[in-house]
Amino acid sequence: MTNDLIAAARLVLGEFALGEDLSAGSVAAALRTEAGHIYTGISLKLDCGIGFCAEHSAIAEMLKHRETRIAAIVALSEQGIRPPCGRCRELMLQVSPANAATLVAIADGQSLALRELLPHHWRAPGRGA
């Protein structure tokens, strides 16, 4: 994982209160598209399951610019790099089946291709990953 993505995520990292027991920014993400653009996002910790992960936020930002191919992605909290949850992994793949090759940071100095994190995808062959 390149340091520029980690640095970009650190720029937006920092939890802040939205209300009682509600917050944003405890996790930040940065991704680089195949075109070389970097997009960032932050997590939302909200009630009723309406919050979302930082990766979702960064991917939404990317989609606003009509890009779908993610070359690399990292998410981090104050404790360090956080591997993406299953929902985030699935989102990356559904945005573009080509994202199976996305380099995903899973720990300091460790990255895997998304296809390695979703080895037995639920979609039938020829319909996705």
pLDDT value, residue 124: 47
The pTM assigned to this predicted structure is 0.90
Whether 5 contacts 32, CB under 8 Å: yes
Cα separation of 41 and 31, whole Å?
A: 9
pLDDT value, residue 125: 57
Go through the domains of the chain in sequence order and give each one's CATH number.
3-117 (3.40.140.10)
State which amino acid sits at residue 73: I
Over the chain (129 residues), the average pLDDT of each successive run of 10 is 90 94 95 98 92 96 98 97 95 95 95 92 60
Query: Active-site residues: which are they?
Result: 55
